[in-house]
Amino acid sequence: MTNLEWVAVLSSGLAGAVLNQGWLEIKQSLNSPRIKAIFKESEPGCRAMGGSDTYFRLKIFNTGPSSAKNVRVLISSVQRSEAEVYDAIWSGAEQKEGMDIPSNTHRFCDIFVLKGDVLSIQSIVNEKTVVPYKFGKVGMVDVRIHVTSDNGPTYSKIIKLNYQLPSELTKIA
């Protein structure tokens, strides 16, 4: 074979490899889970009572065609302070381990809890529930959350809670 034939053969092989890799990337992105999170008072389940406590929860949807594996919710910023990253607690599960979210379903994750007149964030450290951050009695609270999974892109969002009186809380999306 001549040099020109070798160049044509190698170019064809390289073009085939590039097209194959591109096709695999497109196929994977079409089949991956799509995570979306909602934090609104009007969304059913985002505000829940547990005994005398009120929980403000993030509703996490998977709208993709496959299950989202090992989903975790992380709180990376509280009131614009980025000192720590906290694992949020799955509603009803009291664990920080990831949860699978099947296609076209959702799960709730506790972000804020109001116990009496104290609003706080709860997290789990070394298998124990801890309260890493308590808020004042009046004001705007904002946190940055990240929803991650083993097989999909990370979803990030700033969520805000505006509360005037401990007995009268309203959320702002």
Question: For position 52, what pLDDT does the model report?
Answer: 85
Instruction: Kindly state whether residues 46 and 65 are assigned to the same domain.
Output: yes
Nearest C-alpha neighbor of 50 from the set 119, 113, 120: 113
Question: For position 168, what pLDDT does the model report?
Answer: 47
Instruction: Kindly state whether residues 63 and 145 are assigned to the same domain.
Output: yes
Instruction: Kindly state whether residues 45 and 27 are assigned to the same domain.
Output: no
- Containing domain of residue 51, as a range? 33-172
What string of pLDDT tens digits covers the 173 residues of the chain? 777 777 777 777 777 777 777 666 766 666 889 999 998 877 889 888 888 888 889 999 999 999 999 999 998 888 767 667 888 888 877 666 789 999 999 999 988 888 877 788 877 666 666 777 777 665 678 888 999 999 989 999 998 887 654 444 444 44
Two tokens, residue 153: 């892109």
Instruction: Kindly state whether residues 40 and 7 are assigned to the same domain.
Output: no
Instruction: Kindly state whether residues 121 and 63 are assigned to the same domain.
Output: yes
CATH, residue 146: 2.60.40.10
Instruction: Kindly state whether residues 12 and 82 are assigned to the same domain.
Output: no
d(CA 147, CA 161): 19
> What are the phi and psi torsion angles at 28 (to 5°)?
-65, -40
Question: For position 88, what pLDDT does the model report?
Answer: 86
The model's pTM: 0.74
d(CA 109, CA 24): 33
d(CA 119, CA 141): 10
Question: For position 98, what pLDDT does the model report?
Answer: 87
d(CA 152, CA 64): 10
Q: How many CB atoms lie within 10 A of CB 4?
A: 8
Alpha carbon distances (Å) from 86 to 66, 103, 172? 27, 26, 22
Q: What is the DSSP letter of 81?
A: B
Instruction: Kindly state whether residues 89 and 73 are assigned to the same domain.
Output: yes
Residue position matching structure tokens 């972000």: 111
Q: How many CB atoms lie within 10 A of CB 96?
A: 19
Instruction: Kindly state whether residues 24 and 98 are assigned to the same domain.
Output: no
Instruction: Kindly state whether residues 15 and 53 are assigned to the same domain.
Output: no
Domains held by the chain: number: 2
Instruction: Kindly state whether residues 16 and 39 are assigned to the same domain.
Output: no
Instruction: Kindly state whether residues 19 and 57 are assigned to the same domain.
Output: no
Instruction: Kindly state whether residues 103 and 26 are assigned to the same domain.
Output: no
